[in-house]
Amino acid sequence: MKSVIQVENLTKKYKNKKAVDDLSFEVYEGEILGLLGPNGSGKSTTINCILSLLNFDEGIIKVLGCEMSPNAYEIKRQIGVVFQDVAVFDELNVYDNIDYFCGLYIKDKLKRKKCIMDAIHLVGLEEFTKYYPKQLSGGLLRRLNIACGIAHQPKIIILDEPTVAVDPQSRNNILDGIQKLRKKGATIIYTTHYMEEVEILCDRVIILDKGKILAVGTTDELKELVNIEEKVTVEIMDLKKDILNEIKNFPHVDSLTYQNPILSITYKKGANNLVNLMDYLKKESIPYTKIYSERPTLNDVFLELTGKDLRD
């Protein structure tokens, strides 16, 4: 696999506090790499260092084989960046905004027009090309922001929490657009604290906490790190203690919690746990309203590695 970004031993301090602490990782051509971590874990700092927007204390960063520096313009034009904060011109409509940003890189008018139309289709803004930013909802504005960042069809795209506080329709649209960009061959770094998005989108994930890498791998590889194979949840009223104790002693049970009416059980191994539990409840004539089984999530991985919830 060809590596397009190499970060080696990156450390960035604010005063004496390390926002990023001896970070090393690579990004491979054509992948979507998720940088996942709670707020304050160092995601934005890492991105800003990669882009040479921030000076750092130690380490080396190479993009497309060359060391990054603030005036590495040839490399910078190969990178499309979309920050959380929307940065568009209020006095330009949707089309003209995209035209402006795309025009910074692509001078040929015909070629640019095609790029702009591609970007508009990608984020689904076809009906809004004549609208001004003030006339757009928050979600549509974020889509415009993305279109402005990627219209010049860069090789590398960096998206910093693009779906924070976005309505579900725009969120789906954005996730869909990102998958299309990957299909077209872009390499993407995606920062988020939403593990569900990482599960849908990312080929590989880096879990960050307090400026350090806790784990790297595909979502399946990361889930191998946890002891849990299956989680079963049952909605069941007023369970007695002796019944709970009996369930706790079932094969493979790792942990059991009961907060009336939700019973949650984690199992170390997978086979037949749900069926066994249902058989038992039937035999004991205990009624339940809902029962389902899940694989562990990346939040469980994070919980196991750090003892705290990703969403905190």
37 binding ligand ADP? (CB under 6 A) = yes
- Please select the residue that binds ligand ADP; options are 27, 32, 43, 63, rule is CB under 6 A: 43
Stretch that binds ligand ADP, among 41-49, 142-150, 245-253, 273-281 (CB under 6 A): 41-49
41 makes contact with ligand ADP (CB under 6 A): yes
Quick one: which of 26, 30, 40, 132 contacts ligand ADP (CB under 6 A)? 40
Stretch that binds ligand ADP, among 39-47, 166-174, 275-283, 291-299 (CB under 6 A): 39-47
Structural element, H or E, at residue 81: strand 79-82
Shortest distance (Å) from residue 128 CB to ligand ADP: 30
Binding of ligand ADP at residue 187 (CB under 6 A)?
Answer: no
**Nearest distance in Å: CB 41, ligand ADP:** 4
For residue 163, state whether it binds ligand ADP (rule: CB under 6 A): no
The answer for 275, left when phi > 0, alpha when psi is -120 to 50, beta otherwise, is alpha
Number of C-beta neighbours around residue 167 at 10 A: 14
Find where tokens 């040479």 sit.
Answer: 52
Do 159 and 182 form a contact (C-beta atoms < 8 A)?
Answer: no
Is 264 an interacting residue with respect to ligand ADP (CB under 6 A)? no
The region of 38-46, 164-172, 263-271, 272-280 touching ligand ADP under the rule CB under 6 A is 38-46
Give the end-to-end CA distance of the chain in Å, rounded to a whole number.
35
Smallest distance from the beta carbon of 308 to ligand ADP, in angstroms?
A: 14
Give the three-class secondary structure for 206: strand
CB-nearer residue toward ligand ADP: 186 or 207: 207
User: For residues 37 and 24, what is the distance between their CA atoms, to the nearest angstrom?
Assistant: 16
Instruction: Specify the residue for token string 């959380």.
Output: 84
292 binds ligand ADP (CB under 6 A): no
Could you give the string, one character per residue 56-95, with x where binding to ligand ADP holds by CB under 6 A and - elsewhere?
A: ----------------------------------------
- In 151-240, which residue ranges form alpha helices assigned H by DSSP? 168-183, 195-201, 219-224
The DSSP result for 254-305, as a single string, is EEEEEETTEEEEEESS-TTHHHHHHHHHHHTT---SEEEEEPPPHHHHHHHH
Coil, strand or helix at 195 = helix
**How do beta strands 204-209 and 32-36 pair?**
parallel
Q: Does 192 bind ligand ADP (CB under 6 A)?
A: no
Q: Which listed residue (45, 52, 192, 297) binds ligand ADP by CB under 6 A? A: 45
Decide: is 308 part of the binding site for ligand ADP (CB under 6 A). Answer: no
Applying CB under 6 A, the site for ligand ADP has a residue count of 10
Sites of contact with ligand ADP (CB under 6 A): 14, 19, 37, 39-45
